[in-house]
Amino acid sequence: MTVMLGDPIERRRADLVTVDERFALVARGDENVERLYAGGRWLEGPVYVPAWRCLLFSDIPNDRILRWDEVSGTVSIFRQPAGYTNGHTLDGLGRLVSCEQGNRRVTRTEADGSITVLADRYDGLRLNSPNDVVVRRDGSIWFTDPPYGITSDYEGHKAEQELAGCHVYRLDPSTGELRIVADDFARPNGLAFSLDESQLYVVDTPRKHIRRFDVKDDGRLAGGDVFAPCEAGVFDGIRMDADGRVWAATHEGVHCFDPDGTLLGKLLIPEVVSNICFGGPKRNRLFICATTSVYSWLLTTNGAPQPYS
Ligand code: MG
């Protein structure tokens, strides 16, 4: 039996808004939301690491990756400086893949702790500041590249943008080939594959919507219609659950969408939410990075299996 040594800082009643009755299918779990940590400045990029029973997340302006230990409930520094990391995910071998906004690159942390640079330039020009990343089952690494890490020194290092736009990229780590797969975004941000990987959802933050693309056999994208608009500020990170629902970070909390695009319901959070992920041994715990704090909520659904979520 697992003994939980660490108590959350606070438990508060889950503040739910049901928009569609189907939301009850996922929201019949814990009545309370737990606040696990409250010492950040702008928290982002949560990833649950099953092998270590921990959540890693970025505290971007403080240039550190923090580690919440699931067994003890304690939070410690995993890496600092950290290249102003933002989004993280795990690849198919459980290795940490990170967007380093400050270093303007995507990296992988190897089993021995060394860091491998996967991508830092396109066509000889430096990337803007990779923001969020997801790995497909074939090993390809897909990431977004808005300029949030170079527009000021707050979340990285102020610098000129070298590339003409803010694109979505696909990297083949076996060959190093980096390809632009979408070039018509204002500032692409969170992204997630559908369960069968035939579709890719990508947030365009300033346009306040999520788009959905078809993924071709050769890895190219088609379509890209708006899947859902944001009715509370802007979207940032998104994740997929095991039934194909899309969970999205907004300015008022987390919104849950059916695959048909219907807004099913909301979990309101008292801070602006940046990003989310599923975790816990059963992947039925939603971790929420929200400005200064990390919250969690136990669901009656599960996150999509790794490596997608
Ligand atoms: Mg983001």
The confidence score (pLDDT) of residue 306 equals 73
pLDDT tops 50 at residue 141:
yes
d(CA 163, CA 208): 23
- Distance (Å) from CA 131 to ligand 1 centroid: 5
- Distance (Å) from CA 18 to ligand 1 centroid: 25
- Distance (Å) from CA 55 to ligand 1 centroid: 17
- Distance (Å) from CA 231 to ligand 1 centroid: 18
Laid out side by side, the sheet with 263-268 consists of: 15-18, 263-268, 253-257, 246-249, 238-240
Q: How many CB atoms lie within 10 A of CB 226?
A: 13
194-225 pLDDT tens trace: 999 999 999 999 999 999 999 999 899 999 99
- Distance (Å) from CA 79 to ligand 1 centroid: 19
pLDDT tops 50 at residue 3:
no
87-101 pLDDT tens trace: 999 999 999 999 999
- Distance (Å) from CA 145 to ligand 1 centroid: 10
- Distance (Å) from CA 154 to ligand 1 centroid: 15
- Distance (Å) from CA 87 to ligand 1 centroid: 6
Mean pLDDT of the chain: 95
| Averaged pLDDT, 220-236 | 97
The confidence score (pLDDT) of residue 4 equals 52
The confidence score (pLDDT) of residue 1 equals 46
Nearest to 287, CA basis, from 301, 270, 275: 275
- Distance (Å) from CA 4 to ligand 1 centroid: 30
CB 150 within 8 A of CB 100: no
- Distance (Å) from CA 157 to ligand 1 centroid: 17
The confidence score (pLDDT) of residue 307 equals 63
| Averaged pLDDT, 114-139 | 97
pLDDT tops 50 at residue 185:
yes
pLDDT tops 50 at residue 64:
yes
pLDDT tops 60 at residue 14:
yes
d(CA 36, CA 97): 24
d(CA 196, CA 22): 22
- Distance (Å) from CA 50 to ligand 1 centroid: 22
- Distance (Å) from CA 3 to ligand 1 centroid: 33
The confidence score (pLDDT) of residue 21 equals 97
Q: How many CB atoms lie within 10 A of CB 7?
A: 10
pLDDT tops 50 at residue 245:
yes
- Distance (Å) from CA 86 to ligand 1 centroid: 7
d(CA 309, CA 34): 21
Pair of tokens at residue 272: 């602006």
Percent of the chain with pLDDT over 70: 97
pLDDT tops 50 at residue 309:
no
The answer to whether the bond into 281 is cis (omega within 30° of 0) is no
- Distance (Å) from CA 123 to ligand 1 centroid: 24
- Distance (Å) from CA 253 to ligand 1 centroid: 15
- Distance (Å) from CA 276 to ligand 1 centroid: 10
| Long-range pairs of 11-15 with CB within 8 A, sequence gap ≥ 24 | 11/35, 14/267, 14/297, 15/253, 15/267, 15/268, 15/269
252-305 pLDDT tens trace: 999 999 999 999 999 999 999 999 999 999 999 999 999 999 999 999 999 998
